[in-house]
């Protein structure tokens, strides 16, 4: 676990200052390459970006290879995750770079001569994700996260098989498996899939984490990395309580949840990496960096380009808020060191935010996958050899 990281979630939601936001209705309205025009990236050694990078490994959340390249060149960004939907949509819009990724994926799947059309489409979707990851691997030096079909979120064995297939394709292309993280939803079945994959030397990124019970179970079952979403946790509490006013960052429920996850890992010697994603302004508009700065010192973060730009432009002091040397967790080990399925399901059920947001996230990811599947199916049929 020596890589410094810059995670790139390929999604139009990058423009909404929200990583992991396939949930956003805006992300579903845009079906072309992002038009966010970056200026030349400049960050002084005194910038908040530099200060934050000195205590937390920073990641970029962007769907544009040029944006990734520009930020990687600053020396502060080095990892990437991928979401093939955005690239597929961009490819359909006619951008030759992304169109080639889509067509190469479909050709690869067709060349396997699979029995069922649905199998060809499924393989093409996975290959597209790998093609994109391969392209990004030539820009960044660290991890590439590639997700398993979210429709498999409740099928452990199918998730393991899909993760192994993704890794095999990366290795065919010359990308070592120690650079790839298989991305899975943090359901009970996803957590068990991660445990099986990790035992085979395949590292995993457990996502859609909204509650401490999910994070604890991921760590107890040896997941390499988790992606909790503090911004989405804050959203849930604001809606539930009908709050219209902001709160101090230290009282932000999403911040508190991630702090608990980090402190639990360090207190009980878990190696699992805590990498929050999805950001909101705790105090409201104009304070977009609140959650980021309140979690300074966590293992890693993934941050979209507009927020990285704000960090680069500011030279206000960044104080470390999380530190392994001072981490303490108030309470004992959950499940006496390893939660059972019954304990996990009960505790998650009792966590309204975790239950609601996990279900919402999976539904949203499945909805986006169905859109991608329709695009790829059309491409498969148009590129398939004519029957003799």
Query: Residue 208 in contact with residue 229, Cβ under 8 Å?
Result: yes
What is d(CA 191, CA 129) in angstroms, rounded to the nearest whole number? 21
The confidence score (pLDDT) of residue 174 equals: 97
Cβ count near 155 (within 10 Å): 17
Edge-to-edge order in the sheet of strand 144-147: 80-82, 144-147, 180-185, 203-209, 225-228, 273-274
The confidence score (pLDDT) of residue 201 equals: 98
Q: Is the pLDDT of residue 270 over 50?
A: yes
What is d(CA 67, CA 191) in angstroms, rounded to the nearest whole number? 32
Q: How far is CA 307 from CA 49, 208, 287, in A?
A: 10, 21, 11
Q: What average pLDDT does range 281-309 have in this prediction?
A: 96
Integer distance in angstroms from the first to the last C-alpha of the chain?
52
Cβ count near 110 (within 10 Å): 17
Domain coordinates in residue numbering, the chain: 48-383
pLDDT band at 94 (very low <50, low <70, confident <90, very high): confident
What is d(CA 365, CA 27) in angstroms, rounded to the nearest whole number? 11
pLDDT band at 31 (very low <50, low <70, confident <90, very high): very low
Give residue-wise pLDDT tens across range 314-324: 999 999 999 99
Query: Residue 348 in contact with residue 214, Cβ under 8 Å?
Result: yes
The confidence score (pLDDT) of residue 10 equals: 36
The confidence score (pLDDT) of residue 155 equals: 98
Q: Is the pLDDT of residue 340 over 60?
A: yes
What is d(CA 294, CA 281) in angstroms, rounded to the nearest whole number? 11
Task: Give the pairing of strands 203-209 and 273-274.
Answer: unpaired
Q: Strand, coil or helix: what is 153?
A: coil
The confidence score (pLDDT) of residue 87 equals: 59
pLDDT band at 52 (very low <50, low <70, confident <90, very high): very high
Q: What is the mean pLDDT of the chain?
A: 88
Q: How far is CA 191 from CA 100, 153, 183, 224, 248, in A?
A: 34, 9, 11, 11, 33
Q: Is the pLDDT of residue 345 over 90?
A: yes
Owner of token pair 């190696």: 271
What's 48-383's CATH class?
Answer: alpha beta
Instruction: Indicate the range of 46-55, 56-65, 353-362 predicted with least confidence.
Output: 56-65
Q: What average pLDDT does range 186-192 have in this prediction?
A: 98
The confidence score (pLDDT) of residue 325 equals: 96
List, by residue number, the catalytic residues. Answer: 183
- DSSP letter string over 220-240? HTT-SEEEE-HHHHHHHHHHH
Q: Structure pTM?
A: 0.89
Sequence length of the chain is: 388
Q: Which residue has the higher pLDDT, 304 or 337?
A: 337
pLDDT band at 8 (very low <50, low <70, confident <90, very high): very low
């Amino acid at each position: 676990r020596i890589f410094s990281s810059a995670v790139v979630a390929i999604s139009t939601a990058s423009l909404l200052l929200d990583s992991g936001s396939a949930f956003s209705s805006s992300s579903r309205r845009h079906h072309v390459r992002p038009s966010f025009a970056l200026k030349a990236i400049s960050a002084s050694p005194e910038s908040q970006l530099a200060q934050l990078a000195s205590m937390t490994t920073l990641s970029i959340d962007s769907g544009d290879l040029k944006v990734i390249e520009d930020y990687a060149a600053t020396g502060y960004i080095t990892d990437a995750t991928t979401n093939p939907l955005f690239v597929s949509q961009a490819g359909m819009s006619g951008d030759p770079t992304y169109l080639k990724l889509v067509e190469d994926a479909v050709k690869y799947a067709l060349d396997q001569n699979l029995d069922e059309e649905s199998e060809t489409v499924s393989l093409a979707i996975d290959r597209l994700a790998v093609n994109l990851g391969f392209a990004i691997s030539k820009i960044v030096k660290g991890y590439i996260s590639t997700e398993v079909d979210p429709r498999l979120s409740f099928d452990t064995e199918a998730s393991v098989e899909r993760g192994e297939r993704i890794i095999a394709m990366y290795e065919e292309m010359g990308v070592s498996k120690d650079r790839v993280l298989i991305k899975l939803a943090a359901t009970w079945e996803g957590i068990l899939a991660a445990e099986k994959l990790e035992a085979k030397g395949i590292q995993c990124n457990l996502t859609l984490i909204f509650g401490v019970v999910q994070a604890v179970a991921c760590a107890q079952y040896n997941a390499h990395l988790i992606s909790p979403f503090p911004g989405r946790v804050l959203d849930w509490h604001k809606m539930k309580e009908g709050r219209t006013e902001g709160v101090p960052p230290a009282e932000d429920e999403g911040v508190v949840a991630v702090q608990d996850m980090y402190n639990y890992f360090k207190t009980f010697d878990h190696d699992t990496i805590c990498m929050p994603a999805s950001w909101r302004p705790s105090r409201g508009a104009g304070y977009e960096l609140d959650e980021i700065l309140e979690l300074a010192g966590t293992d890693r973060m993934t941050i979209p380009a507009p927020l990285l730009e704000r960090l680069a432009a500011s030279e206000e002091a960044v104080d470390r808020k999380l530190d392994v040397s001072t981490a303490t967790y108030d309470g004992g080990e959950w499940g006496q060191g390893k939660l059972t399925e019954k304990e996990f399901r009960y505790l998650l059920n009792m966590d309204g935010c975790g239950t609601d947001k996990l279900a919402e996230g999976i539904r949203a990811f499945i909805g986006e996958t169905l859109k991608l599947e329709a695009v790829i199916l059309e491409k498969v049929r148009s590129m398939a050899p004519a029957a003799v």
